[in-house]
Chain A
Amino acid sequence: MLKVNDINVFYGNIQALKGVSLEVNEGEIVTLIGANGAGKSTLLKTLSGLLKPKQGTIEYLGSSIAGKQAQSIVKAGISHVPEGRRVFANMTVEENLELGAYLRKDKDGIAKDLQRVFELFPRLLERRKQQSGTLSGGEQQMLAMGRAIMAKPKLLLLDEPSMGLAPLMVKTIFSIVKEINKEGTTILLVEQNAHMALSVADRAYVIETGRVVLSGTAKELKETEQVKAAYLGGL
């Protein structure tokens, strides 16, 4: 479904991604783990068109999306839940969700997906008129995910959904990630919480200072010494 081939991404003179290649197949949950500053967010931003790769190709459903505008990428079915949730704080929950469907015109479909989001996140239904800035961190994460789902993505990019959440909320979020995936959305999940990420993912990539250093099925990587030592707290 998604084929990233040898991309280089720069911030000014700083090279954040150095020849990264990876692949996501339809129906999968693929996770990308790595330390702070490894380039995980940079990769997601590049996929969703917020950054342009200097080199390399990104193929999505058979056509190239490298360097395309964010709008056309969203239209093509890739939604990005950015790091740190970034909900529109002075808007209500409902208004945030409506903006998620900003590029869609099918009113019936939008109403249906709104129902679906409220089924996935009943908490959001209770708080639909609340200002988003006053939601708890976990609720904001739910909203950010719900907002992305409103764009009706085929591929969902999640950037550290567990960040700053209590263990119980992390569990909830991850079980919802699985559910979204079961309903047919492919997921690329960036995480620091390697333990959780590897337990829900089918396959995984490990990225270090802008390079992919390891890849394999989630099961395989869980058993790798390098991953155990660096990301699973040496368990």
Chain B
Amino acid sequence: MKKSKVFWLYAIIALIVYAIVQFMITSDQLDMYYSNLLITIAINIILAVSLHLVIGITGQFSIGHAGFLAVGAYISAICTMHFDLPFPVALFIGAVVAALAGLVVGIPSLRLKGDYLAIATLGFAEIIRIIFLNTDYVGGAAGMQITQMTTWTYAFFGVFITVIIIANFTKSRHGRACIAVREDEIAADAMGINTTYYKVVAFALGSFFAGLAGGLFSHNFYIIQPSQFGFLKSFDILIYVVLGGLGSLSGAIIAAILLTVVSMYLTEFPETRMIIYSLVLIIVMLYRPSGLMGTKEITDYFKLGKRSKGGNLDDQ
């Protein structure tokens, strides 16, 4: 009962934030620049949280997340541009196809571990990108024209749904099983946990939400091109997860927000942008080698606060 109260508290806070921003946008107090920043942040949070499930929770070091982002981006764009489907339907189809792509990639490559898995996922992501690059139907290298449809409302609810589903999955029996796989695969096997199944499920679920982010991403610009989904994009997402602290959902969110803002401001200094961005990463990793949050969640700090207060009361 207490848990669900905490859950509703967060949900209500999030919805209030949404309403305030939405009001500011409709009343023109927030210009395009900032509303676009917010949408980009939302997309990056979805990407960070979905990869967090694969790497942070299940311990499968995948560095090809941009491949699934591309699948969602292109498939949803095909749905809206070529088939005139409503945007929400297109988003959903894009996510489902990305999840299927996740299954196709995951089933063979998740037998691999560590560095080998990383290389395999990177390779698959490049294959996906090259397929789009060579498909005239989606414009090849020149890219595909897309109508702008992503709004703050879509972006917000994209994040909202992603975070709720992944947080609940993590807390469930299935999430525990995934964490056990991360902690020690042999021991997890010995407990009777179907480790292959959970690796594939986490991978497909992560790909699903990466696909959702892809749909929001492609409909936020007027054009998408295969070059936007290269391995640098995969690394950007990976950095959110690592910087946030592997295993921390709130860490991944905070890192995605922080780095998106930093990178947005740095676009004004194109010459020094990558240097400063790299410096930020190096400094954070020097001072917080296990990421911003380690494996902790923001809520853990609140809980600790409460506990120590309780202790004080007992002492008196």
Is A91's CB under 8 angstroms from B192's CB? no
Q: How many residues of B contact A (CB 8 A)?
A: 18
Q: What residues of B have a CB within 8 angstroms of the CB of A73 in the complex? A: 192
- Whether A91 and B183, one on each chain, are in contact in the complex, defined by CB atoms closer than 8 angstroms, is yes
Size bin of chain A's contact surface: 20 to 34
Is the CB of B190 closer than 8 A to any CB of chain A?
A: yes
A residues less than 8 Å from B187 (CB atoms): 82, 86-88
Contact A71 B184 (CB under 8 A): no
Known contacts A90-B247, A90-B295, A95-B176: does B183 contact A102 (CB below 8 Å)? no
Interface contact tally, CB-CB below 8 A = 63
What mask results when residues 176 to 200 of chain B are scored 1 for a CB within 8 Å of chain A, else 0? 1101100110111111111000000
- B142 nearest CB across to chain A (Å): 48
In the complex the two chains form, what is the Cα distance from A79 to B180 in whole Å? 16
Question: Closest Cβ of chain B: how far from A87's Cβ, in Å?
Answer: 7
B97 to chain A, nearest CB (A): 31
Shortest A152–chain B CB gap in Å is: 12
* Residues of chain A within 8 A of B295, CB atoms compared: 90
Taking a contact as CB atoms under 8 Å apart, the answer to whether B190 and A71 are in contact is: no
Most chain B C-beta atoms within 10 Å of own C-beta, residue among A70, A98, A100: A70
List the A side residues contacting B173 at CB < 8 Å: 102
Interface hits, B2-53 → A, CB 8 Å = none
> Once the chains bind, are B179 and A91 in contact (CB under 8 Å)?
yes
Q: Which of A118-144 contact B (CB under 8 A)?
A: none
Asked if residues B177 and A102 are in contact (CB atoms below 8 Å), the reply is yes
The smallest beta-carbon distance between A223 and chain B, in angstroms, is 35
- Chain A 59-99 near chain B by CB (<8 Å), digits 1 or 0: 00000000001110111000110100011111100010011
Residues of B within 8 A of A (CB): 173, 176-177, 179-180, 183-184, 186-194, 247, 295
Binding site for B on A (CB under 8 A): 48, 50, 69-71, 73-75, 79-80, 82, 86-91, 95, 98-100, 102-103, 147, 151
